[in-house]
Amino acid sequence: MGKGSDVEQSRYRWVIVAAGGLICCVAAGSLFSLPIFLQTIARDTGWSVAGISGAMTIAFLAMAVGSIVWGNLSDRFGPRVVVLTGSAMLTLGLALASQVQSLLLFQILFGIVVGAGTAATFAPLMACVTGWFDTHRSLAVSLVSAGMGMAPMTMSPLAAWLVSMYDWRSAMLMIAGLAALLMLPVALLVRRPPALEAAPALQAAADAPAAGEGMSLRQVLRSPALIVLLLTNFFCCATHAGPIFHTVSYALSCGIPLLSAVTIYSVEGLAGLGGRIAFGLMGDRFGARRVLAAGLLVQAFGAAAFIFARELGSFYAMAALFGFVYAGVMPLYAVIARENFPLRLMGTVIGGIAMTGSLGMATGPLIGGLIFDQLQSYTWLYAGAWLLGIGAFLIAMTFKPVRPQLQPAPA
């Protein structure tokens, strides 16, 4: 391959990072507009907090199934068509959900359609970026993930302003329109990693940096390393699912006004943006596995610290710590996956990791809603999150890298 082509690819990989960051920002912000609308929807419709939160749980379940399906499809057909399809599904689901009169229909449209559409963005984009970078991989993946960190600073305040100016149906419809305007054209910029466009011999060489080069899909799925990653991500995401989704409602229950409560998300998002970059740099320097384990331990205690938050200032402090850590650790799973498994299977592998993460995320909204409906308090939600966080740390400590001497096996 010519030097000019190499330079072009070296430049274009940062276009992939920018496109991925923007798409992740809008997708995450659209999905997490529901916590902003939660209390308003409940008052307007008479639906229970648990019932509305259930739509988010369904969304995470749809993301779990969708992540592995979309990841496999991106391996076969490339990330562009998958991300474009998911973007269309997300915007359509939001638009339709904003108009329904039935809680069940709302749960189906927001939960299944929006959730599945969101799943088509994250895993394929993360897998795509890992293939574009041999150096600075942790930083690149973290920058794409940083788009999600931008959502609380951009999409969440926008959603809060819209719902304060209009009814929630109009506000959600406007979010859908913005998502369509931004996500659909940007998805066209996404390309396969150059190594996957090359001849089969060059593709095999591209797998060389991964210790698991030559592994078949069956070997990957049975690998103890992958099983540990899957379990770690499940408990990691279960740790921060409830605190993320119910932070605004918790603040409202403490007497903090809505527009002020939403700024807690912004602080969490700003800290998360810094965390993603910091953890990416630390992952490149000290190793993604070590940094992940340390971050998981801090995340557990960061979740428990919310129990002591009562005033806006204390919420800001807890959100800054929690956001910095939970956002920082998330991109490291993709980096560890690329270090241990073949590039040609990255969509499936990262899709599987995202699947268990989504299952973990599914636990928080519904369980938190049930706890609040029964006890009118979120204390036990945060105590349970601490226990889950300790579990994630302990599981991560058992991770053993894939050995490089594995022999190639037929697919």
Ramachandran area for residue 399 (φ above 0: left; ψ -120 to 50: alpha; else beta): beta
**328 vs 325: CA distance, rounded Å:** 5
DSSP codes, 173-189: HHHHHHHHHHHHHHHTT
| Contact (CB, 8 A) for 131 and 346 | yes
Rounded alpha-carbon distances, angstroms, from residue 58 to 25, 67, 152, 257: 21, 14, 21, 28
Question: What confidence tens digit (pLDDT) does each residue in 112-149 have?
Answer: 999 999 989 888 888 888 878 777 777 788 788 778 77
* In the predicted structure, residue 50 carries a pLDDT above the cut 60: yes
Length of the chain measured in residues: 411
From residue 395, how far is each of 184, 215, 227, 255 by CA, in Å?
39, 24, 10, 38
Token readout for 405 is 């001497």
Residue of 14, 62, 53 whose CA lies nearest to 34? 53
Q: Are 138 and 332 in contact (CB under 8 A)?
A: yes
Task: Report the alpha-carbon distance of residue 362 to residue 294 in Å, rounded.
Answer: 24
| Geometric angle at alpha carbon 301, from 50 and 401, rounded to 5° | 100
* DSSP class of 99: T
66 and 179 Cβ atoms separated by less than 8 Å: no
Average pLDDT over residues 44-64: 85
Is the Cβ–Cβ distance between 108 and 116 less than 8 Å? no
pLDDT confidence of residue 11:
79
Instruction: Judge contact between 123 and 70, C-beta under 8 A.
Output: yes
Task: Tell me the per-residue pLDDT of 313-336, one tens digit each, with 9 for 90 and over.
Answer: 888 998 899 989 988 888 888 888
10 Å Cβ neighbour count for 45?
17
Instruction: Give me the percent of the chain exceeding a pLDDT of 70.
Output: 90
Of the candidates 272, 299, 34, 248, the one whose C-alpha atom is nearest the C-alpha of residue 153 is 272
Q: What local confidence, expressed as pLDDT, does residue 230 receive?
A: 93
The whole-angstrom separation of Cα 122 and Cα 136 is: 19
Q: Predicted confidence band at 410 (pLDDT cuts at 50, 70, 90)?
A: very low
Residues 154-181 have a mean pLDDT of: 90
216 within 8 A of 411, measured Cβ to Cβ: yes
* pLDDT number for residue 173: 95
Which of the given ranges, 66-80, 168-182, 297-311, 363-377, has the highest pLDDT on average? 168-182
Q: Are the CB atoms for 131 and 71 separated by under 8 Å? A: no
Count of beta carbons in the 10 Å neighbourhood of residue 232: 29
pLDDT digits 0-9 by tens, 182-197: 999 999 998 888 766 6
- The first and second tokens of residue 268, run together, are 């969490």
Domains of the chain from N-terminus onward: 8-187+214-396 (1.20.1250.20)
Are 227 and 337 within 8 A, CB to CB? Answer: no
pLDDT cut 90: percent of the chain above it? 27
Considering 48-57, 246-255, 391-400, the range whose residues carry the highest mean pLDDT is: 391-400
Q: Per the structure block, which two tokens stand in for 335? A: 């980096």
- 337-359: per-residue pLDDT in tens? 888 888 778 888 888 888 888 78
CA within 13 Å, CB half, 281: 5
Q: What is the pLDDT of residue 199?
A: 44
Contact 8, 191 (CB under 8 A): no
Query: How many other C-beta atoms can be found within 10 angstroms of the C-beta atom of residue 180?
Result: 18
Q: Which of 152, 141, 393 is nearest to 265 (CA)?
A: 152
Position 293 scores a pLDDT of 92
pLDDT of residue 214: 66
pLDDT of residue 7: 52
Which DSSP string do the residues of 348-370 spell out, in sequence order? HHHHHHHHHHHHHHHHHHHHHHH
pLDDT score for 397: 93
Q: What is the mean pLDDT of the chain?
A: 83
pTM over 0.95: no
User: Phi and psi dihedrals of 254, rounded to 5?
Assistant: -90, 5
- CB 349, CB 341: distance < 8 Å: yes
pLDDT band at 93 (very low <50, low <70, confident <90, very high): very high
Average pLDDT over residues 154-158: 84
Reading the block at residue 147, the tokens are 């788009």
- Report whether 57 contacts 340 (CB < 8 A): no
Rounded CA separation 147/154 (Å): 10
Q: List C-alpha distances in Å: 231 to 72, 112, 132, 256, 269.
A: 20, 24, 27, 36, 25
